[in-house]
Structure 1
Amino acid sequence: MLRVIVLGAAAGGGVPQWNCGCAICRAARERPELQSTQSSLAFSNNGRNWFLINAAPELRQQVTSTPQLHPTSGELRHTPIAGVILTNGEVDAVAGLLSMREGSPFNLYAHQRVLAILKANSIFNVLAEKNVPRQAIDIDLSFEPALADGAPSGLAVLPFAVPGKSAWYLEGEIHPGGDVEEDGDTIGLRIEDKASGQYFFFVAACARVTPELAQRLDGAPLVFFDGTVWRDDEMIVAGLGVKTGQRMGHLSMSGDDGAIAMLADCGIAQKVFLHINNSNPALLHDSAERASLQNAGWQMAHDGMEITL
């Protein structure tokens, strides 16, 4: 059995974004059901030991809001969080690691290019490697994440490359992982419970759906997929920025080349958008965009959403 909890469903900045006065952010300040923290997810195959995918800046808040991640009653120092798997090096995926610096052991997994980003920034040294060993993971090579004491978890995690880009703050800089263009800055994950055979996919950043990616996701019981923007130019049209979704390394939900159209024939049982930007009109429950994606068989992730396979 696999249990999955969405700790945060939003893209960078959350909803509402602290400095944004757009219509969606204004509405979210008045309507708590529209509010969302930045994207992070927890999963477990036994309900006792949990692994996180990415560590959002609000991770402390997310853990506090999730009873399954609280210390065991009667324990002075304890956490059921056994490890964290990073899928990219963006601020909204790694900043929450700094909230896990109080000495509890856990394993940190990431591609070598993302680990190089952490190594290049000395602030992450607050996570002493004797307590938080950094484990390099390879593209298309399955691994079994370990529990904090080194015991096997009974899970199989397969990282795979997805079209994307390195962290935006590295634009124009020499990449700590090497200046040669290669896969690893943006990855997706296939996560399986070995005992039951149940599995799901996590793809929170994706610039396009290639035939290879569509084939990989075909027939999956559950896919969490990048839902950053509804249309590629929405931030420009709304006056919120100068970059398109593609320029930021994100595919739009709509359009002939968007996620809804490109994954329509993949036979995915549950399709869930997450990493949703505050500019995306599908955040509004009564919007035409929300109705359109629901009619296409998609759901919108929200903080606290739980799915069991």
Structure 2
Amino acid sequence: MKILVLGSGAGGGFPQWNCRCRQCASFRRGELDGAARTQSSVAVSQDGADWVLLNASPDIAQQIRANTLLHPTQHAGPRDSPIKAVVLTDSQLHNVAGLLSLRESQRLEVFATPLVFEDLTAGLPLLSALDHYTAVHWHMLPVAGNAAVAPFRIEGFPDLAFCAVDVPGKAPRHARQRGETVGECIALHIQDTRTGQRFFFSPALAEVGSAELDWMRAADCLMVDGTFWDEHELRDAGLGGPSASELGHLPQMAFEGRAGMIDALNATDAPRKILTHVNNSNPILDAHGRQRRTLADHGIEVAHDGMVIEL
């Protein structure tokens, strides 16, 4: 199984286009030792030829252009793509807006839960818009009610076994008021049936309880929520009041008696532990900063655009 990180930043990327926080300003001046990041998205493949997108960020067209593995091949028709399907982990704008950039597709296979489908036909009606441009085939992932886990397959990828897993998250602003939350945010567990290697992907994770930890412990490679370092990072950076928890993210550092993401990752034995969806305020963007050294001491990596992993 091949994993290609298309984007590793949180909403807005890094540096964020309208932000002059300390880190964005330092990067623009060439003083921060780090890399620019587009908004979070990943592609997976069983053979390096055909690919499944895990989320479609607003930067997807730029990300496709930047990665030759996703370019049309010389054996394809005049309009073709090695991207064969898209799996959505939630309906947040930074995960679904890129669907509009894929409207020239001859056929678009999209996998999502009932709550995500509801959001994309009501509060953010991308479905009706896309239907005017391409043949959109929607595949329901039955994560809802009492069903917190849903195994599924994607045609053309017989060696990859997918599983959608409900995880704690936050409803997008465009979602209607609702009591049901199962299926609002999912993680993905993907196993290569030839090698047995397992990949766990959860770019948004509000907390890690026993169920989430069990899935993480079962994986060989973890790529999880790396949005914030501290619970009150945005406030301390002068960027606003919401805490990491209020925005649906577990920060790396422990806070108020709660374990942080570093603690959760330390409770697993996965050979690869990687943070993604990194916000522009997170000090781990500084490749030689104290926080980055702390991660390295715990065997934790930070994803970067163009990162390739083979399992």
Asked if Structure 1 and Structure 2 have the same fold, meaning a TM-score greater than 0.5 normalized by the shorter chain, the answer is yes
- For 2:173 and 2:208, the matched residues in 1 are separated by 21
Instruction: Please tell me the root mean square deviation across aligned C-alpha atoms, in Å.
Output: 1.7
1:182 Cα deviation after fit = 2.6
Distance, in Å, in 2 between the alignment partners of 1:227 and 1:122 is 29
State the number of aligned residues.
298
Instruction: Indicate conservation of the 8 Å contact 1:101/1:126, yes or no.
Output: no
Alpha-carbon separation, structure 1, partners of 2:300 and 2:173: 28
The corresponding residue for 1:70 is 71
State how 1:25-64 maps to structure 2 within 5 Å. Answer: 25-31=24-30, 33-64=34-65
Spell out, residue by residue over 1:232-276, the C-alpha distance to the aligned partner (whole angstroms, 9 max, x if none): 101001110110000000000112510101221211110000000
TM-score in terms of structure 2 length: 0.91
Distance 1:24 1:201 in 2: 29
* Worse overlay, 50-59 or 157-166: 157-166
Report the Cα offset of residue 225 of structure 1: 0.6
Alpha-carbon distance in 2 for matches of 1:109, 1:10: 23
Conserved 8 A contact 2:197-2:219? no
Structure 1: runs of 5 or more not aligned: none
**How far off is 1:219 after superposition?**
4.7
Q: Deviations over 1:134-159 (max 9, x none)?
A: 11102312110124xxxx54321101
Mark the CA change 1:145 to 1:90 in structure 2 (over 3 Å): closer, same or farther. Answer: same
Do the aligned partners of 2:10 and 2:227 also contact (CA within 8 Å) in 1?
Answer: yes
Structure 1 residue ranges, 4+ long, deviating more than 3 angstroms after superposition = 30-33, 121-124
**Do structure 1's residue 131 and structure 2's residue 145 form an aligned pair?**
no
Give 2:172's aligned amino acid: A
Match of 2:202 in 1: 203
The 2-side partners of 1:128 and 1:168 are apart by 24
Which structure 2 residues correspond to residues 97-246 of structure 1 after superposition, within 5 A? 97-120=99-122, 121-128=124-131, 131-139=135-143, 140-147=149-156, 153-170=158-175, 174-175=176-177, 179-246=178-245
Identity, % of aligned pairs?
36
Partner of 2:303: 301
Q: Structure 1 stretch 30-39 or stretch 123-132: which is displaced more?
A: 123-132
| Runs of 5+ unmatched residues, structure 2 | 144-148
Deviation at 1:103, TM superposition (A): 3.5
* Cα distance in 1, alignment partners of residues 213 and 41 from structure 2: 23
Compared CA separation, residues 39 and 108, structure 1 to 2 (3 A):
same
Structure-1-length-normalised TM-score: 0.92
Q: How far, CA to CA, are the matches of 2:189 and 2:126 in structure 1?
A: 30
Distance 2:279 2:107 in 1: 33
Per the alignment, in what secondary structure is the counterpart of residue 119 of structure 1?
coil
